[in-house]
Amino acid sequence: MTVNVHLTKVGNSRGIRIPRAILEQVNLEGELELIVEEGTLLIRPAVNPRQGWEETFVNASSNMKEDGEMTEPLFGNQFDDEEWTW
């Protein structure tokens, strides 16, 4: 989809209006990141670097024994499963 828009003065800055159809198609809302790459402006949803941490911590506490030891590893990889001797 290609749509032509005009820059609009917003205070000392400039802005554009993004049509609803495009917003819905790319699921844009809330905070956004603006990235300039090789003369192109890329707009994408902002990513919270700590996204998912709360759920991980809740899950971790449900895997704890009374003495604080984990009932099962929270994180693991192939090395942990196949090569490491506990």
Please report, for residues 10, 17, 20, the alpha-carbon distance to residue 29 in angstroms, rounded to integers and kept in the order given: 19, 13, 11
Q: What is the mean pLDDT of the chain?
A: 82
| pLDDT tens digit sequence for 5-41 | 999 999 999 999 999 989 888 888 888 999 999 999 9
Q: How confident is the model at residue 61 (pLDDT cuts 50, 70, 90)?
A: low
Distance CA 62, CA 29 (A): 33
Q: Which CATH class is domain 8-45?
A: mainly beta
Residue 59 pLDDT exceeds 80: no
